Amino acid sequence: MSPARPLAIVFVLAAVGCFSLGSESKSSSGCNTGECKKGPIPAHASGSTDPQGCVSYRCDFGWAGCGQDCNTHLVDDSANCGACGNACTESACKLGSCGVVRELAVGLVSPTRVATGGGYVYFVAGIDEGGSETAIFRVPRDGGASEQIAVTNAVVALEASNAGVFWIENGEELRGVRAGDRAVVTLASALDGAMSLVVDDDNAAWLSRRLPESDAGTDASDGGNNARSGGVWTMPLAAGSPSLLVAFTHDYSSSFFGQLGDPLAQSGDWLVFVDGLDNVRAVRRSSGATVTLASKIEGAVLGVAADDSFAYWYSATLNICLGGACSAPPPHLFRAPLGGGDVVEIPTNALSPRAARWGELYAIDEAGRAVVRIDMVSGARHVIAGGLGEIEGLAVDDASIYWIAHGASRSDGRLMSSAR
């Protein structure tokens, strides 16, 4: 069944403990095999040498070790375009892509979050060179001048729709600029630890790590046993007050909840969330009816997502390196029908999934420096672009994919786009 309007699936992965950086990272300690690599740090790389003479380095932005050291320029090498082994067969490699990639905005200071809606792409970036003050900017999705629309402080979530752009600030306020207006409005305050936001054209929903005692039924601080009460809230974007849709208990001592991933996603009337006890659940916004899609998941749930038919989650068992060599098993991506049913694992080739749409998964590669597209049935991958810096944030609409690439300096960020 074709969807009525575009639905994006977003995953976020933060590395804790062992995390492989593939061929672009060479090291003699931490998350590797323990082999000591000696010799000088090669050209196009930066790193250090320990007292035993073992070098640890990473290739500079735009360079990779496709065979040896950091000798391959991914930005314009047609045999290794954007990533090692990605050969351009029908066109030259430009901006780390065999296809057409556009720079929607350049020279950005420490840019972070990306969202798209209503014909615009929104992002957060620093106002000054030091990045001490930040603002939300927008640029037409088809290209044009960027403009500042709001000065912000500690944006933890950014979403957009035809209704405008909305964000969580400091975990305490839901703010926004409605379509056709320039005024910043505060829709809700005293959110007490809000950490994830979804919006459509009519409603907003967010997940909070703590509830007021009157809603939680127990002391949210709970002295010393680490138990906390969290919940999923919803409210209309036009006007109204927040309402608690579902409450749950989570335990900071035994869960990565609140530290990794995006724990909330939406699809139509469904909201999918991680309840902090390694359970993936879905709740209907209209009725409050809930269903558990997967329970007591092994490892940490790093993010959830949803499309018209399925809920998705990304989980991994993370090892902590304590001075010796160690390795982490590859992460896994799963899906289950929104109303409940069989859980199916999707091959991801140890990538970091961020956004998906109808049979295709958009991801950041294992080095964190390329955007790839994966067939969600076969697992086949296609490099869209890479080599311009660390990738942060992906957003997808009906026509294009958008992402932030961090360059070599603090003020060398770029907002990029490519046709889906």
pLDDT digits (tens, 9 = 90+) for 216-237: 444 444 444 445 678 899 999 9
Whether 407 shows a pLDDT value over 50: the answer reads yes
d(CA 374, CA 383): 9
pLDDT at position 354 is 58
Q: Which of 59-63, 257-261, 356-360 has the lowest mean pLDDT?
A: 257-261
Predicted confidence (pLDDT) at residue 120 exceeds the cutoff of 60: yes
What is the reported pLDDT for 70?
Answer: 87
Per-residue model confidence as pLDDT tens digits over 307-328: 888 888 877 765 544 444 445 5
Give the DSSP letter string of 59-84.
EPTTEE-SSSTT-EETTT-TTSSSST
Q: What is the predicted pLDDT for the residue at 350? A: 52
Confidence of residue 410 (pLDDT cuts 50, 70, 90): confident
Question: What are φ and ψ of residue 216, in 5° steps?
Answer: -75, -30
Protein fold of 9-419: Neuraminidase (2.120.10)
Name which of 407, 364, 249 is nearest 15 in CA terms.
Answer: 364
**DSSP E strands, 344-380:** 344-346, 352-357, 360-364, 370-375
Q: Which amino acid is at 413?
A: G
Number of CB atoms found within 10 A of residue 107's CB: 13
Report whether pLDDT(258) > 60.
no
